[in-house]
Structure formats: C-alpha cells, structure tokens
Structure 1
Amino acid sequence: MTAPKTLLDQDGVQLTVDDAVATVTLANPAKRNAQSPALWRALAEAGRLLPGSVRVVVLRGEGKSFSAGLDRQAFTPEGFDGEPSFLDLARGSDEALDAEIATYQEAFTWWRRNDIVSIAAVQGHAIGAGFQLALACDLRVCADDAQFAMRETSLGLVPDLTGTHPLLSLVGYARALEICATGRFVHAEEAERTGLANLVVPAAELDAATQDLAAALLAAPRDAVVETKALLRDASGRTYDEQRTAERAAQARRLRDLAGLGE
C-alpha cells in the first residue's frame, strides 16, 4: 500500500491523493478553520490540481470544528496582510467588487463537477462560509455534534458563496429562508431529518463512515456514476419530457460503451 501523495499544503489547506480518493483538509484548527481569501484561493487551486484518476473527494476539517466561517479580520480596516479589506472592496467600483466576489466563489464551485463525487465530513461548527462549503459538496456525513448556521443575514450580509442554491434544493424555500433569516443553529438530528445530512454518526466514527461511503461510491463503474450525476444535477432545470430525452441519450451512450461501440 502506497502512502497518500501530498499535492498542496498552503494557507490552511492540504490536498492529498490516495489512488481514486482525494482528501482536502482545512488545517487551521487553532482558529477553528476560519476562512480567508487566501484559503479560498488555495481551495480553488486544490480543484485545479486534482489528477484525472480521482473519483471521490473528501473535505474535512482538523480539530473540533469543520469551519467556524469567515475570519472576522476581513471586516477590520486593516484586513489581512497583503489583502484589501472588505471595507476597501466596498469602496471600489461595482465591477471590481463583483469580480472579487466571483473569485472567492471559485473555491466553492468545483466540488459539484460531474467527474467527481464530493463528500463533506462535518464535525462541530459549520457556520456561514463553513456551512456554504459543506453545501458545496454533493454529500454530507455529519458527526452527532455537528451544528450548521447561516449567520450572514444576521451580520447584514447575504450568503454569497454559492450556498443558497443547494440549501433551497435540499430543504425547500420556507425552511431555507427561515434558516438564513434567523441565523439559528441546525443540529445534526435536524440536518439528517431535513436532508442536509446524508448520514449522522457518533463523532468517533466520522472518518470511518466517510471512508465507507467513499468506498461504496467507487464500487460502480466511473462512467455510469458520471452520467447519473449529470442527469440528477440538471433534472431540476428540465421538464419531465426533457429529462426523459436526456435519460435516453445517456443510456444510449452507456449501452454503446458497454458494447465496445463508444467513440
């Protein structure tokens, strides 16, 4: 058995690859894996560095919390060293502010690529940007001490790191609005009951349960999983008849491939 290969270790983000499984670790437990623009750039880079052999990506946080959200230093006049503060960004042009937020969002978008299945392993707090990062993944395995909260609205902001679309898809409009507008905690039991969590396990079993799910995802042929994920991702934007057509086309590709007739 070969040891996992480290491809990235910077700004609180580590990327290791072990055959078909990659692990992205938020590695600043002293600050409860608080997030910053530098961390977001590192997360985006992790997505670019994934080898083509990777089929499953596990996202985890070191320490007691998955991620406590945005580092509040971003809102101080000085901001982070070498970075414009959020207050400075707010004083800039609409175009510059939009472009900067779009750059931040890149850290949250690649997890739903059709060629991989991503799993967030969540323990402790997943607040704000931490909640949105867990939502960026396809699946969520949670420890029984997991607590989600969308605190942006309570701070006079909105969730802007791609979290609103998956949250709405998972729990529906009314509950998504209530979670965001109140900023309250969603505990592990409620997360599982409402569909935010695929599985809740004792904290000591989180890593093992995540590994078991990763292994189960690898059992089916890769191309079948890729096609199925694409069908499910796009289904909400299609009519019933359009989805039937998409299913037929996908199945035709799979049958031709299995018959050795693929391109």
Structure 2
Amino acid sequence: MATLDPVLDKDGVRLTVDEAIATVTLTNPARRNAQSPALWRALAEAGKALPGSVRAVVLRAEGKSFSAGLDRQAFAPEGFEDEPSFLDLARGSDAELDATIAEYQEAFTWWRRSDIVSVAAVQGHAIGAGFQLALACDLRVVADDAQFAMRETSLGLVPDLTGTHPLVGLVGYARALEICVTGRFVQAEEAVSTGLASLAVPADQLDGAVRDLTAAILAAPRDAVIETKALLQGALDRDYESQRAAERAAQARRLRDLAGLGE
C-alpha cells in the first residue's frame, strides 16, 4: 500500500486520501484495535474530513485483529483519561445518557452516505463494536481467518452502535438473533454464505482483493453509482409499486444527464 500523508492521524485512527479512494486505518494493533470514545470521535472526524472527490472508502486495521471491540477500561471506575467511565454515564439523566450514546453512534453512521461506497477489510477478530464497525460499511471483504462475534448480550448489554439494522438486513431476523444472544463466532466461510461478507480470501491477499473491488466500483460513473445505491438502500422501506416509481424517477434523471439535459 502506498504511503500517503495523513489527512487525520489521532487516537488510533488514520485517514489518507489517494484521489477518489480514502483509507481509514485503525492503528493500535498492540491493543487489537480496541475501541474507546476517543477513537469514535476520531472516526466521526474522519467522515467529516473526506474531500468531495472521494468515491470509495476502505476501512482497514493494522495487526492481526480488525478490532477486538470495546476497550474494557470503559467499565473501570476510573474510565479513560479525561473521559467519564461508563459507570459514571449510567448515573446521569436519561437525556444525558441518550445524547452520549448518540454521539458515539456518529462514528458508525457516515459510512453509508449515498455519495460513497465503503468497504471493510476484515482480518482476525471483529468482536462487538468491531463487528458493528464492519457492519457500518456497505461491503465487507474478509480474510480466511476472520471471526465475527456480537458479545454485548453476553455482557448484559445490547449492540447499540448501529449494528442491529444491517445485521438483520443481511442475515435475517432469526439468524441475527441467534448470533447476538449466543455471542458465538461467525467464521469467514459462514460470513460469505450468509451474506455478511462479499468475499473471503487468504489473509495475504486481503489488500489486493479490496483494491480490485474498489477499482471495479470506480469504473462505473459516479452519478449512476449514487442513484443505484439510493435505490437499493430504500428498497426495503418501499412497497413494490413505490420502488418501481423510484426506479423510473432515477432513470429519468440519468437519461436527462446523459443527454446533457440535467440541471
């Protein structure tokens, strides 16, 4: 991978941009890229820092694990340095707690913006918040050693970092429930067979597979990709006739644009 000057490099997150492709890298392999509020703020900042030229965003991680999930220091009485512990947050008002969780979720929401296609490159463990971060992306390519697990329920919590909606959409309610309440590992082969991942490759081929996928994404005209993504994102919320109408409207915009008649 080419070395580029980082647009952002802080709190375990590095953002680099190479023309139409941005790469967000988790950079704390010594702690298996465990997540913290500071990391979540850096991820949200990375989303805001994307130049308008970016069409594809790759999310990757240094080391053997994509992300081992929430750093358990969050539950220690002292919490993180200059951060309230989760125990302190629990003592706050309902409004304060809701606002704090909403702020944390911002790190996970921008990956599905209509103007970009995001691809997570997952190796090793993607547990809890790590699983949810991979689910935040549009697509996932996994190494053959990838292992997903949603451990929140086993800890007396729930997955609250936007992972439940895409998980149900990808694998269905029953399997999503079983994955969450058992906390079991989903291996690479099952991830592909159930639709969690698009492709599984040997670990040493992961970066190459992601490069090939992003190149294919960039080969299509940007506006056509944006319209297609919007159609697919809204499909489950529309009935059949409404989706037909949305297709007609999107195609009319594309035809007028190709004919030089667009706004």
Asked whether the two chains share a fold, i.e. TM above 0.5, the reply is yes
Aligned to 1:245: 245
Q: Which amino acid aligns with 1:30?
A: A
How far apart are 1:6 and its partner, in Å?
A: 1.3
Structure 1 residue runs of 4 or more that deviate by more than 4 Å after TM superposition: none
Aligned to 1:261: 261
Q: How does 1:42-57 map to 2 (within 5 A)?
A: 42-57=42-57
Aligned: 1:60 with 2:97: no
Distance in 2 between the 1:116 and 1:235 partners? 18
Aligned to 2:221: 221
How many pairs does the alignment contain? 262
Distance in 2 between the 1:147 and 1:118 partners? 20
Identity %: 81
Q: How does 1:152-171 map to 2 (within 5 A)?
A: 152-171=152-171
Distance in 2 between the 1:86 and 1:171 partners? 31
Aligned to 1:145: 145
Distance in 2 between the 1:72 and 1:89 partners? 15
Distance in 2 between the 1:179 and 1:3 partners? 38
Unaligned runs of 5+ in 2: none
Deviations 1:143-174 (A, max 9, x none): 00000000000000000000000000000000
Aligned to 2:97: 97
Distance in 1 between the 2:199 and 2:146 partners? 11
Deviations 1:18-44 (A, max 9, x none): 010000000000000000000000000
Query: Any idea what SS the aligned residue of 1:88 has?
Result: helix
Q: What do you get for the CA RMSD once the two structures are aligned? A: 0.8
Distance in 2 between the 1:88 and 1:3 partners? 41
Unaligned runs of 5+ in 1: none
How far apart are 1:3 and its partner, in Å?
A: 5.8
Say if 1:127 and 1:151, in contact at 8 Å, map to a contact too: yes
Aligned to 2:110: 110
TM-score, length basis structure 1: 0.99
Aligned to 1:199: 199
Distance in 2 between the 1:197 and 1:144 partners? 11
Say if 1:5 and 1:18, in contact at 8 Å, map to a contact too: no
TM-score, length basis structure 2: 0.99
Aligned to 1:4: 4
Query: Any idea what SS the aligned residue of 1:50 has?
Result: coil
Distance in 2 between the 1:205 and 1:260 partners? 42
Distance in 2 between the 1:85 and 1:135 partners? 26
Distance in 1 between the 2:3 and 2:257 partners? 33
Distance in 1 between the 2:219 and 2:140 partners? 19
How far apart are 1:134 and its partner, in Å?
A: 0.1
Deviations 1:62-82 (A, max 9, x none): 000000000000001000000
Deviations 1:208-243 (A, max 9, x none): 000000000000000000000000001100000000
Query: Any idea what SS the aligned residue of 1:178 has?
Result: helix
Q: Which amino acid aligns with 1:47?
A: G
Aligned: 1:85 with 2:85: yes
Query: Any idea what SS the aligned residue of 1:236 has?
Result: helix
Distance in 2 between the 1:84 and 1:3 partners? 36
Q: Which amino acid aligns with 1:175?
A: R
Aligned: 1:19 with 2:19: yes
